[in-house]
């Protein structure tokens, strides 16, 4: 072990930052991005906007970072940034700040907050989203805007009255649709609508009132301006009564004068992220087939700006497109997609161009790119992680040269021993090749045997790789604690094509268990694993697989299951994603009762002999805590070894975005459970 480096610990979580929402300036000279840091004292996170010169030089913090500043958006001339901040309103409002500095100016004062600002092509107007219900829309249409408070005391009273009225409005809460809750909160009768607000000409000019240009009981997504400035593109829910979290969205073209929107797409797909070509003649968007929402993956398609039959650009690639941008010359698109443990940026041409069927890789390598931005001159900025570094910002110049812009965690990484990741490819029992990875503990001696910690991803259609940011620190900490750390992408994972992703359809548990077990067997054959000290853990669908494995085998010494699905019958009707079960099993519980029960770990819980730790959030509306309560009760009634840990205030994203202290506790308890049963002195 290097004498000047120490091992990763759980507490390093508090010192690790990450990046979001990278945006290149129109001229490609500067890049804006959001840096997220842990505020340990407040047990929370701070988001600040940073700027960095593309040609080199240190990044500088552009906003104070005390107020959750995010969503930076460049003006067309590159002189201003619009951004969203909670500095004066916890719901968030849009602010403006000059590139050359100065105080931020509040642009919106919408009662329910504002988000997703988008500049008009001439830089005179900003579109944004805000929540509003039918009664509030009626008052706006009747020009019955509330009067501004006369002074600070009146403003304080008005806010207290508003907060009281909001609380009373949902006491009791009346539910008429599905889903009625998600994240850690309940939905209400408000819908996202598009507002326009004129940009003041002077720094001290008061902004005009925002005006709404969309109508009806529909949710609208982030707006994108057409180049002529006369209309915007958005997506909106096709049917307010669809009862769908996955949401069947259509692309709309909305006139800026508030006229009737034009629907540009048709039933058969769900559509996302519409973007006009630079010359405004074409519109590109991502779409998913409604009959294969999770199997086929998202593809990029185009239509004429006036509407027409979509033409696929990426369907032949068998990739799941996560993000895309038009090429600056309008001759194709650049897109981000995952493939075999990595995520890269690709380019593909329009129909009739040489690169239509044979695109090129713009950003490759052993890394996972999480998002990217494109300047008018073709410069790319992107956020990526590698097996040695979980997150930083990079720039790819027009000539293909690449430069790292930030080193946000370098001070910590320089003092820690980073264990290398070994890729393994092995055959499942049916001969299919599975990709996995192994991280060995420090001072690994191939003549000795070590405990094995098996990690299983959720989703189920997710792809892990050694650069996966949200797991990077946990894997390194597990290895540092003396375990061989193993993870893989079994059937059902993204990044291996439609056939692999859809292989678990109607066959959860049974289709993918042998892919995981074959990897464990390979490591045992190498002679490095103590077969009496194998632990397994996973979250969400990974929690499902953890309990599935221990209910079908006694080979594991202990298990930790986080936010897991254990009863497919109750998960369907209590989750905000009830459609997941319907899509994955092609039916409803009343049609597939026996099949869903047979594929539920709870149906096999009486066979579990492995000591099990259940970790679950009390406000998890994706996988409600009732799933863990059922499994705990069944095992406890049999006097099996089981513990249930309940995390207050947290939702399904606990390990990724929960309170820092809860994230650290979650990891610490997992390792402590492993230690209890997998140390050499364990009974």
Question: Higher confidence at residue 150 or residue 582?
Answer: 582
Q: Tokens 């055959």, residue?
A: 427
Peptide bond into 460 cis (omega under 30): yes
What lies within 8 Å, CB to CB, of 156 at 6+ separation is none
Asked if residue 69 lies in contact with residue 47, where contact means CB atoms within 8 angstroms, the answer is yes
Q: How far apart, in Å, are the Cα atoms of 585 and each of 289, 298, 621?
A: 16, 20, 21
- Any idea which of 81-90, 164-173, 380-389 has the lowest mean pLDDT? 164-173
| CB crowding 35-66: b at 16 or more within 10 Å, else e | bbbbeeeeeeebbbbbbbebeeeebeebbebe
Sheet holding 105-106, edge to edge: 70-74, 80-85, 93-98, 105-106
| Contact of 677 with 557, CB cutoff 8 Å | yes
Q: Are 244 and 206 in contact (CB under 8 A)?
A: no
Q: Which residues pair with 286 in a beta bridge?
A: 272, 300
Residues of the chain with pLDDT > 90: what percent? 83
The predicted model gives 369-376 an average pLDDT of: 97
Q: Which of 22-36, 149-163, 261-275, 611-625 has the lowest mean pLDDT?
A: 149-163
Average of per-residue pLDDT across 673-681: 87
What integer is the mean pLDDT of 325-334? 96
Band of pLDDT at residue 154, cut at 50, 70 and 90: confident
Using the CB atoms, write b or e for 575-593: b if 16+ within 10 Å: bbbbbbbbbbbeeebeebe
Average pLDDT, the chain: 94
Contacts of 219 (CB under 8 A, 6+ apart): 191, 192, 236, 237, 247
Residue 335 tokens read as 């897109």
Show the beta-strand stretches assigned E in 180-248.
181-182, 185-186, 191-198, 211-212, 224-225, 231-237
Confidence band of 682 (pLDDT split at 50, 70, 90): very low
Query: Quick one: DSSP state of residue 513?
Result: H
Among 455, 607, 444, which Cα is nearest to 529's? 444
Place of tokens 């820092």: 660
Give residue for tokens 């968007």: 285
- Report which of 367, 327, 381, 371 is spatially closest to residue 465, judged by C-alpha positions: 367
Task: Measure the CA–CA gap between 73 and 83, rounded to whole angstroms.
Answer: 6
Burial class (CB in 10 A: 0-12, 13-18, 19+), 5: middle
What percent of the chain is predicted at pLDDT more than 70?
Answer: 98
Give the pLDDT mean for 441-448: 95
Between 398 and 207, whose confidence is greater?
398
pLDDT at residue 65, rounded to an integer: 63
- Cα 222 to the chain's mean position, in Å? 16
* Strand intervals (E) in 28-92: 30-39, 44-53, 60-61, 70-74, 80-85
DSSP state of 558: E
For residue 482, give the 3-state DSSP assignment: coil
Mean pLDDT of 175-197: 93
* Domain boundary assignment for the chain: 424-678
CB 660 within 8 Å of CB 45: yes
Measure the CA–CA gap between 594 and 108, rounded to whole angstroms: 54
Strand pairing report for 558-562 and 612-617: parallel
Confidence of residue 242 (pLDDT cuts 50, 70, 90): confident
Instruction: Label residue 680 by pLDDT band (50, 70, 90).
Output: low
Under 8 Å between Cβ of 395 and 54: yes
Mean pLDDT, residues 426-446 taken together: 97
Which of 374, 412, 378, 406 is closest to 392 using CA atoms? 406
Instruction: Please report how the helices 541-552 and 510-525 are oriented relative to each other, as an axis angle in degrees rounded to 10.
Output: 70
State the average pLDDT over residues 533-541. 98
pTM to 2 decimals? 0.95
Q: What angle do CA 653, 462, 252 make, to 5 degrees?
A: 80
- Confidence band for 203, pLDDT divided at 50, 70 and 90: low
Cα distance between residue 150 and residue 63, in whole Å = 30
Q: Which of 159-168, 283-292, 318-327, 490-499 has the lowest mean pLDDT?
A: 159-168
State the Cα–Cα distance between residues 670 and 410, nearest whole angstrom.
27
Angle at 135 between CA 129 and CA 139, to 5 degrees: 85
Two structure tokens written together for 256? 């800026």
Say which residues have a Cβ less than 8 Å from residue 234's Cβ, sequence separation at least 6.
194, 214, 220, 221, 222, 223, 224, 251, 252, 254, 274
For residues 590-608, give the mean pLDDT.
97
Mean pLDDT of 27-55: 95
Which residue is associated with the tokens 């390194």?
Answer: 476
Please report the pLDDT score of residue 90 as a whole number: 87
Evaluate the omega torsion of the peptide bond into residue 325 and state whether it is cis, within 30 degrees of 0.
no
Choosing among 1.10.357.10, 3.40.50.1820, 3.30.1360.10, 3.40.50.300, the CATH entry for 424-678 is 3.40.50.1820
Angle in degrees, 0-180, between the axes of helices 469-480 and 660-678, rounded to the nearest 10: 40
The residues that bridge with 335 in the sheet, in sequence order, are 324, 346
Phi first, then psi: give them for residue 518, nearest 5 degrees: -65, -35
Least confident of 151-165, 179-193, 410-424, 461-475: 151-165
Q: Report the 10 Å Cβ neighbour count for 251.
A: 26
pLDDT tens digit string along 69-85? Answer: 999 999 999 999 999 99
Alpha carbon distance 582, 589 (integer Å)? 8
């Amino acid at each position: 072990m290097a004498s000047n480096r120490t091992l990763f610990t759980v507490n390093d979580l508090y010192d690790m930052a990450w990046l979001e929402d990278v945006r290149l300036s129109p001229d490609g000279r500067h890049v804006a991005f959001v840096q997220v840091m842990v505020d340990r004292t407040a047990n929370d996170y701070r988001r600040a906007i940073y700027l960095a010169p593309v040609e080199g030089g240190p990044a500088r913090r552009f906003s104070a970072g005390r107020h959750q500043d995010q969503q930076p958006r460049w003006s067309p001339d590159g002189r201003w940034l619009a951004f969203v901040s909670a500095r004066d309103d916890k719901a968030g409002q849009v602010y403006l700040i000059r590139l050359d500095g100065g105080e931020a100016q509040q642009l919106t004062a919408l009662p329910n907050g504002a988000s997703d600002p988008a500049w008009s092509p001439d830089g005179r107007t900003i579109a944004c989203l805000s929540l509003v219900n039918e009664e509030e829309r009626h008052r706006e249409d009747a020009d019955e805007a509330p009067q501004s408070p006369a002074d600070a005391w009146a403003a304080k009273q008005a806010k207290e009255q508003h907060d009281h009225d909001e609380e009373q409005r949902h006491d009791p809460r009346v539910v008429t649709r599905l889903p009625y809750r998600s994240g850690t909160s309940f939905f209400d009768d408000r819908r996202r609508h598009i507002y326009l607000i004129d940009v003041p000409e002077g720094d001290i000019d008061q902004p005009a009132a925002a005006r709404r240009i969309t109508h009806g009981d529909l949710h609208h997504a982030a707006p994108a301006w057409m180049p002529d400035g006369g209309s915007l593109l958005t997506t909106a829910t096709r049917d307010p009564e669809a009862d769908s979290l996955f949401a069947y969205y259509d692309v709309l073209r909305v006139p800026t004068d508030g006229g009737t929107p034009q629907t540009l797409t048709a039933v058969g797909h769900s559509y996302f992220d519409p973007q006009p070509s630079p010359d405004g003649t074409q519109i590109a968007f991502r779409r998913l087939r409604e009959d294969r929402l999770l199997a086929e993956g998202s593809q990029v398609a185009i239509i004429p700006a006036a509407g027409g039959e979509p033409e696929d650009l990426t369907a032949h690639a068998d990739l799941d497109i996560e993000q895309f941008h038009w090429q600056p010359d309008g001759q194709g698109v650049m897109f981000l997609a995952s493939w075999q443990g990595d995520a890269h940026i690709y380019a593909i041409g329009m129909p009739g161009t040489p690169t239509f069927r044979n695109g090129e890789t713009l950003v490759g390598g052993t890394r996972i790119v999480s998002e990217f931005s494109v300047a008018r001159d073709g410069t790319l900025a992107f956020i990526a992680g590698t097996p040695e570094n979980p997150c930083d910002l990079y720039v790819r110049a027009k000539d293909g040269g690449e430069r790292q812009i930030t080193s946000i965690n370098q001070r910590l990484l320089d003092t820690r021993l980073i264990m290398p990741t070994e890729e393994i490819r092995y055959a499942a029992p049916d001969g299919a090749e599975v990709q996995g990875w192994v991280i060995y503990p420090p001072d690994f001696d191939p003549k000795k045997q070590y405990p094995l910690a098996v990690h299983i991803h959720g989703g189920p259609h997710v792809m892990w790789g050694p650069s996966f940011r949200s797991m990077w620190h946990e894997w390194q900490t597990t290895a540092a604690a003396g375990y061989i750390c193993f993870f893989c992408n079994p059937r059902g994972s993204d990044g291996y094509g439609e056939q692999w992703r859809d292989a678990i359809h109607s066959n959860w548990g049974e289709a993918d268990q042998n892919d995981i077990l074959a990897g464990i067997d390979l490591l045992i054959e190498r002679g490095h694993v103590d077969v009496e000290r194998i632990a397994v853990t996973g979250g969400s669908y990974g929690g499902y697989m953890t309990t599935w494995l221990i209910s079908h085998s006694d080979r594991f010494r202990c298990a930790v299951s986080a936010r897991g699905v254990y009863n497919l019958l109750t998960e369907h009707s209590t989750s905000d994603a009830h459609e997941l079960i319907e899509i994955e099993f092609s039916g409803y519980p009343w049609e597939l009762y026996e099949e869903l029960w047979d594929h539920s770990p709870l149906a096999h819980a009486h066979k579990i002999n492995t000591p099990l730790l259940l970790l679950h959030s009390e406000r998890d509306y994706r996988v409600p805590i009732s799933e863990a309560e059922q499994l705990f009760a069944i095992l406890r009634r049999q006097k099996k070894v089981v513990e249930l840990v309940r995390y207050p205030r947290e939702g399904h994203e606990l390990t990724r975005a929960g309170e820092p202290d809860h994230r650290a506790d979650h990891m610490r308890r997992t390792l402590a459970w492993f230690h209890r049963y997998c140390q050499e002195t364990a009974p």
